[in-house]
Amino acid sequence: MKKLVLAAALTVAASTAFAGGMAAPTMEPEVVAEAASSSSAGGILVPVMLVVMLAAVASN
């Protein structure tokens, strides 16, 4: 009789442990931070430097 009660108690404990079942895994979105770059400064810097160099050469 004790074995029957023990088996019933283990069955109840096991069934409540798995009552919820498997939950679907939730994936958080990956956050990607893009580095801020100033491409307009690089586009204007080279021609300005060229004009300054040409002006320096012309003044000599």
Sign of CA dihedral 49, 55, 59, 60: positive
pLDDT band, very low/low/confident/very high, at 18 (cuts 50, 70, 90) = low
Instruction: Say which residue, 27 or 14, is predicted with more confidence.
Output: 27
As a whole number of angstroms, the distance between CA 53 and CA 56 comes to 5
Give pLDDT, residue 53.
93
pLDDT class for 12, splitting at 50, 70, 90?
confident
What is the sign of the dihedral through the CA atoms of 42, 47, 48 and 50? positive
Q: Rg (Cα) of the chain, in Å, rounded?
A: 37
Q: Is pTM beyond 0.75 here?
A: no
Q: What is the mean pLDDT of residues 2-25?
A: 71
Tens-place pLDDT, residues 22-53: 677 788 888 888 776 655 556 788 888 899 99
